[in-house]
Every structure is written in structure tokens, then in C-alpha cells.
Amino acid sequence: MEYMVQIDHIHKSFGDNHVLQGVSMNIKKGEVVVILGPSGSGKTTLLRTINFLDAADEGSITVNEARVDAQKHSKAQVLELRKKTAMVFQNYNLFANMTILQNVMEGLVTVRKFKKSDAEKMSMEILDKVGLSEKYHCYPSQLSGGQQQRAGIARALILDPDVILFDEPTSALDPELVGEVLNTIKAVAQTGITMIVVTHEIAFAKEVASRVVFMEGGVVVEEGKPGEILVNPKEPRTQQFLSRITGGINQKSA
């Protein structure tokens, strides 16, 4: 098998709004793909079509041999696809009625049918790794945004997915909490897991990405190594976007 994730000519409309206009992308195992773009460019929607939280209108998604055709698929196929992926949400979306430990265990117990005691042990280990040893039995409402997001990352990691989808994981955080979450994501990236990250953190993209994709108007405008795209973009639209977001620092140093 050549690619871990294959996104093939995905189209998606919300009413008259044609958000994704034929996006294709092939992602190898272990790649960290960072998707950049102005708001409304369709990057979050693209991410959500990968695990079918938003069902695409046309095209197909393949994750590690689980293929789902947008126009012709069964519920079982979608479920299979979702079991190979995990997602980290902008607003964390931890299960509000469960403790942090239960949040992480839930996928193992309910979906993967692990024994409770095994799931608990594994969940504690992973929570220790993201620095939440003290918080096993807290409810999400008792945690800071940064802690909640790290728990969200633990919930995704424990399922050992073929790809983790990060949907603007630091956008809802207070500025002083962004660092701790980015560090956790960097640590995850170093384990060699395939990741697709939608973010506005350019510095983070530079450091972690193996590939940067710039989207605008529902299409991929430009993609390449972070050294090329972020420092020396070819497309004027990419240049504009980067100069707006960094205040032109990149242009001067380039």
C-alpha cells in the first residue's frame, strides 16, 4: 500500500456555497501535513470530510485501505473509516458527563471492546504522557482549556489511529495555554503517526510539518515543504496570506 490517506476529488457544498471544489491529496504514512488558508477557504470542511463528520458530495476518501465513496457507501463503511481515524477538535468536545479518565477509556471500551481494567491502565499511561496524572477523576468542566485539549489529544491517541485529524486545536485557547498544547502535538508528531493539522500557527507549521498545503476558495493553491511554502511561496495568493498573518516578516527575511 502506497498511501495512508487518499483524498480523491472531494466536492462539498452547503446550500449554494460550493466549499470544496475538487480537492485531492495523497498522504504517506508518518507525514505531518499542515493545512493553512484564510477563513472560509474550506480547510476545516476538508478535514471533516475525511472522517465523514461532513459527508462529501462527490469524490472518495481512503484511509489505510478503508475506502468510502461519497455517492455510494454504507453506514458500515463510514464506521470502518472512522475507526481508522481520530480527531482533535477546536472546542475540545470532551464528553461532558465523563471524567478525563473515562473520556480516554471510552473508545477502547465501547468501540474496541477492551476489558475495562486494561483500558484503564492504558488510559492512565497516556494521560501521564500528556501531563494529566493529577486529573484522572476530574470532569472536563473542572479543567483549563489547555488541559482539556491535552485530554482530547490523549483520547485520540489511545485508539492508535492510522491518522489523527487536528481541527484548529489551539484556536480556542488563551494565548498563554497555546504553548503547552503545541508542545504536546509536537511530541505526538515525533512518534511517527500520520497527522493532518489545520492551524494558523505558522511557527508551529515550520517546525513540525513535513508538508504544508495552502488552500483558498475550496481548492489547493500550493503545496510543498514548509521551507518552500512558508519562506518562498510561488503563488501570489499564498504570499498575500503569509504577509497578512506574519506582518511581512517572512518576506523580508526571504
Partner 1 sequence: MDFAFMAEAFPQIVGAIPITLLMVFVSAAIGWVLGLLFALVRRADVQFFSQAVAVFISFMRSVPSVILLYISYYVMPAVIYFYGQNIGIEINVSGIPAVVYAIAALTLNQAAYASEVFRSAIAAVDEGQFEASYSIGMNKTQALQKVILPQAMATAMPNLGGLFIMLIKDTSLAYYVGVYEITATANLLSMPTLNFIEAYIMTTVIYEVLSFVFNQMFRAEENHLKRFRAVLAAQV
Interface with partner 1 (CB under 8 A): 51, 53, 75, 79, 82-83, 85-87, 89, 91, 93-98, 106-107, 110-111, 139-142, 155-156, 159, 165
Min separation Cβ 103 and partner 1, Å: 9
217, 241 Cβ separation under 8 angstroms = no
Min separation Cβ 82 and partner 1, Å: 5
Min separation Cβ 60 and partner 1, Å: 19
Min separation Cβ 73 and partner 1, Å: 15
Pick 3 or 95: Cβ nearer partner 1:
95
Pick 20 or 100: Cβ nearer partner 1:
100
What type of residue is 241? F
Pick 35 or 87: Cβ nearer partner 1:
87
Q: Residues, the chain, total? A: 254
Pick 198 or 220: Cβ nearer partner 1:
198
Min separation Cβ 246 and partner 1, Å: 31
Pick 93 or 239: Cβ nearer partner 1:
93
